[in-house]
Every structure is written in structure tokens, then in C-alpha cells.
């Protein structure tokens, strides 16, 4: 019969009966018999002064419920008193392993490591009569998470902001972005607006920790890569 006695947050783990401590329960009963908080407590390892590790885990799950845990960032975890950077990285690593276990086989993933990879997915806008601004959102393995049409129209008229570019990147969450747009005129040479826009997105990416891999301009007869030409 499982004990129903509720443990105070101030109860030290060493004061809990040995067989009821999270790690020991996992060994003797198996992981499926542990609560969400107990499983998380094993990852955290320790609590903080005046709050044992299970109570700390319960607090974290109230702040970020299990179903939304994968959307929280390292900063979100580390900002909770008693967790900090080291414990936050353990949680992030565990979440990533879970994602990789249940992710579709790698052959179904679109990989974009280079400008040439991106061009394979830009053919449809190369012949458009209007300018299309597209953003590729990539994870740390350069797998395409999302391809978004952010705007239609010339950049100097669209006035697209960095916030509009990076908002989906934070929700995905992304490790890199690649931006592309077309020139209906067929001339891939970047305009002053193109150069200014690229500089702004590049600088915003550095601040946010989501680097801009490249800004590609495509046309009917070719393309221009800011990365290859070291512009912006």
C-alpha cells in the first residue's frame, strides 16, 4: 500500500524513508510508478535551503505544466530559485532526448546547412511577380522546423520588423534562421533596403542567440547570398 502522507517542503530527502525516495522508488518499482515531480526530482538531484527537491520539482511544474515544459527556455528554468544554470541544462537535455526518441526518422527531415540547400525550397518564389519574404526556422541539427511566408511586397514597403521575424523562432524554438526573398525584376543585386534589412536581422539574431545563417535573394536566372558575399 502506497503511503499517502504528504511531505512538507521543508522535509529533507534524507528524512524521507529510504524506500520512498525518488531514486530508490525508481529502482524498486520502475519509472512508471513515479509521479511527474519525482521523475523531475531525479534530474534536479537536490533542492534548496528550506525546500526539498520534490517540492522544488512540484513548484517548477506549477510554473511550467508538464505538457508545456518543452516550450520553456533555459532562462525560464534557471530563473527559478534553487534551479540555476546547471540543473536547467539537465532538464533541457532530457527534453531534447525525449524529442529525438519520438521524432520521425531523420530521412523525413529537411536539412538546410547551406545556401544551396535552401535554394531547393525557393524555386516557387523565383518566378513570382511580387516579392515574397520567406524565413526558414531550423533546429540545432539544421533540420527545418518551419517555413514561413512573413510578407508579400517589397522590403521597403513591408517594413518587416525583427520581432515579426523572430517571434516564430522563439515559439518553435529555433537555433538558426535563414531569410530569403525574390526580386521579380530578375536582378539579384541587393538594394540598399536589402542590405539595411539584413544588417538589422543579423544584429537582432546575435542579441537573441538565434544566428542568421544567410539572406538569399533569388531571381529567374540566379541568386545572391549575403553570406557568400559577406554583406550585411
CA distance 108 to 111: 9
Instruction: Tell me whether residue 153 is exposed, middle or buried, using C-beta atoms within 10 angstroms of its C-beta: 0 to 12, 13 to 18, 19 or more.
Output: middle
- Residue 129: what pLDDT? 85
Instruction: For residue range 143-178, list pLDDT tens digits in order.
Output: 999 999 988 876 656 678 888 899 989 888 899 999
Instruction: For residue range 119-130, list pLDDT tens digits in order.
Output: 989 988 888 888
CA distance 96 to 113: 20
- Residue 9: what pLDDT? 55
- The secondary structure element, H or E, covering residue 133 is strand 132-138
> What are the angstrom distances between the C-alpha of 175 and each of 72, 138, 226?
14, 6, 19
Phi, psi of 179 (to 5 degrees): -105, 145
Q: Is the dihedral of CA 33, 45, 71, 10 positive or negative?
A: positive
The long-range contacts involving 6-10, CB below 8 angstroms and separated by at least 24 positions, are: 7/52, 7/54, 7/55, 8/55, 9/50, 9/51, 9/52, 9/55, 10/50, 10/51, 10/52
Phi, psi of 133 (to 5 degrees): -105, 120
Reference 140, options 171, 106, 108, 177; nearest CA is 177
**Conformation bin of residue 153: beta by default, left when phi > 0, alpha when psi is -120 to 50:** left
Decide whether 13-102 matches 115-229 in CATH topology.
Answer: no
Give every residue of the chain whose pLDDT is below 70, as ranges: 1-15, 102-108, 154-158, 231-232
- Residue 108: what pLDDT? 56
Q: Which numeric CATH code is attached to 115-229?
A: 3.40.140.10
- Residue 155: what pLDDT? 64
CA distance 155 to 147: 18
Contact criterion met (CB below 8 Å) for 159 and 165: no
End-to-end alpha-carbon separation of the chain, Å? 66
Is 0.75 surpassed by the pTM of this model? no
Instruction: Tell me whether residue 95 is exposed, middle or buried, using C-beta atoms within 10 angstroms of its C-beta: 0 to 12, 13 to 18, 19 or more.
Output: middle
CATH architecture of 13-102: Orthogonal Bundle (1.10)
- Residue 68: what pLDDT? 86
Amino acid at each position: 500500500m502506497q503511503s499517502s502522507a504528504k511531505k512538507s517542503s521543508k522535509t529533507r530527502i534524507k528524512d524521507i524513508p529510504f524506500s520512498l525516495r525518488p531514486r530508490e522508488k525508481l529502482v524498486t518499482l520502475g519509472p512508471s510508478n513515479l509521479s511527474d515531480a519525482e521523475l523531475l526530482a531525479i534530474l534536479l538531484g537536490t533542492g534548496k535551503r528550506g525546500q526539498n527537491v520534490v517540492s522544488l520539482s512540484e513548484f517548477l511544474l506549477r510554473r511550467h505544466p508538464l505538457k508545456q515544459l518543452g516550450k520553456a527556455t533555459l532562462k525560464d528554468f534557471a530563473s527559478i530559485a534553487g534551479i540555476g544554470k546547471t540543473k536547467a541544462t539537465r532538464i533541457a537535455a532530457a527534453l531534447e532526448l525525449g524529442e529525438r526518441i519520438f521524432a520521425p526518422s531523420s530521412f523525413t527531415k529537411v536539412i538546410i546547412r547551406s545556401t544551396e540547400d535552401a535554394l531547393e525550397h525557393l524555386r516557387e518564389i523565383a518566378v513570382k511577380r511580387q516579392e515574397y519574404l520567406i524565413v526558414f526556422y531550423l533546429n540545432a541539427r539544421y533540420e527545418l522546423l518551419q517555413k514561413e511566408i512573413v510578407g508579400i511586397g517589397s522590403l521597403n514597403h513591408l517594413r518587416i520588423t525583427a520581432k515579426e521575424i523572430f517571434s516564430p523562432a522563439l515559439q518553435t524554438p529555433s537555433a538558426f534562421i535563414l531569410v530569403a526573398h525574390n526580386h521579380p525584376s530578375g536582378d539579384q543585386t541587393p538594394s540598399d533596403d536589402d542590405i539595411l534589412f539584413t544588417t538589422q536581422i543579423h544584429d537582432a539574431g546575435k542579441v537573441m542567440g538565434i544566428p542568421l545563417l544567410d539572406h538569399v535573394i533569388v531571381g529567374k536566372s540566379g541568386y545572391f547570398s549575403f553570406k557568400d558575399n559577406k554583406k550585411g
